[in-house]
Amino acid sequence: MDEERIVIAHGGGGALTRELVEGVIVPALGGAPDALPDAAPVPGAPDFLFTTDAFVVKPLFFRGGDIGKLAVHGVINDLAVSGAEPLALSLSLIIEEGFPIADLRRVLESVGEASRACGVPVITGDTKVVARGEADQLFITAAGIGRRRITVSPAGLKEGDIVLVSGPLAEHGVAVMSERKGIAFDTPVRSDTASVWPLVKALIDADVEIHAMRDPTRGGLAACCVELADASGVTVELEESALPVRPAVRAACEMLGLDPLTVANEGRLVALVPARDGERALNILRALPEAGEACVVGRIAARRATAACLRTRYGGVRIVEMPYGEELPRIC
């Protein structure tokens, strides 16, 4: 790899992304690389959190969603897992010359439907058009602001905490890749893109103590676990037998040579709570239509030689590593 130039893997949410953010971007902007949150307090107004995200998914339309819905849910979820109630969004479009207006209208109608369903309006935005060949159809950048409801931290994990996942893993990444490659499965795989704010709100309203939350997008559950464990100085122990992966998704991952732990999700919540609140939190999530298959997938232990590990179905233990780059480029 040419260390002096950006490569596709720098955008994959794995180890190279982490190196780029911590080694280049954050120092240049005068920040500190430790415990970077999904959303940050607004200077002078710490009760409000702000976040931004960019979306370059290919193809633009896939089973279960499209780039417009993804942009709305992605920003809302970054606010939600930071403990903030989403209030408003901005939307910026970079459109390549020649892009069909009918497709643009379809994307924007999807944005409108998703934002109205979530109760979070798009209140401002911008549009730019670049020459043919200078972009790939359509890129979207979205930002959002929310009001803090609770304080959570990437460094908030404690020994004995349990790891909750709100539903089956790897469905978004497999849905996009199957659409891109024209792969058909006996049971069509659909993206899980959705807002996780209703799940977070239910836990907050029930006074569940939440130590940390993430939405496992690029890099999947594996990247979440490694990042949180490193920030907190603990080890995440996952149970293979407890991981919720649908048979069609598992079969697709085996066919494509993918690990479901590292494949992107766009509508799942990872919540880490004290063991004493675990059963109650699980029941709260399972009572919601968006999280009827929520489950406990692991626990937090004292720091060992590795940040995360997986207890296999056969009694062994394997290391769970941060993905190096991006197994599936342009997934969100």
Sketch out the chain's domains with CATH numbers. Answer: 41-148 (3.30.1330.10), 162-319 (3.90.650.10)
Q: Which residues of 75-88 are buried (b: 16+ CB within 10 A; e: fewer)?
A: bbbbbbbbbbbbbe
- What is the pLDDT, as a whole number, of residue 92? 98
- What is the pLDDT, as a whole number, of residue 327? 66
**Mean pLDDT, residues 41-50:** 96
Confidence of residue 1 (pLDDT cuts 50, 70, 90): very low
CB of 78 within 8 A of CB of 51? yes
**Dist. CA 190–CA 62, nearest whole Å:** 8
**Predicted model pTM:** 0.93
pLDDT at 186 over 90: no
Q: Which residues of 213-243 are buried (b: 16+ CB within 10 A; e: fewer)?
A: bbbbbbbbbbbbbbbbbbbbebbbbbbbeeb
Confidence of residue 210 (pLDDT cuts 50, 70, 90): very high
CB of 123 within 8 A of CB of 88? yes
- What is the pLDDT, as a whole number, of residue 133? 93
Quick one: 264 exposed, middle or buried, by C-beta within 10 A (0-12, 13-18, 19+)? buried
Measured in residues, the chain has a length of 332
**Mean pLDDT, residues 149-169:** 96
pLDDT at 124 over 60: yes
Q: Which residues contact 135 (CB under 8 A, 6 or more apart)?
A: 94, 95, 96
144, β-bridge pairs = 51, 89
% the chain with pLDDT above 70: 94
What DSSP character marks residue 199? H
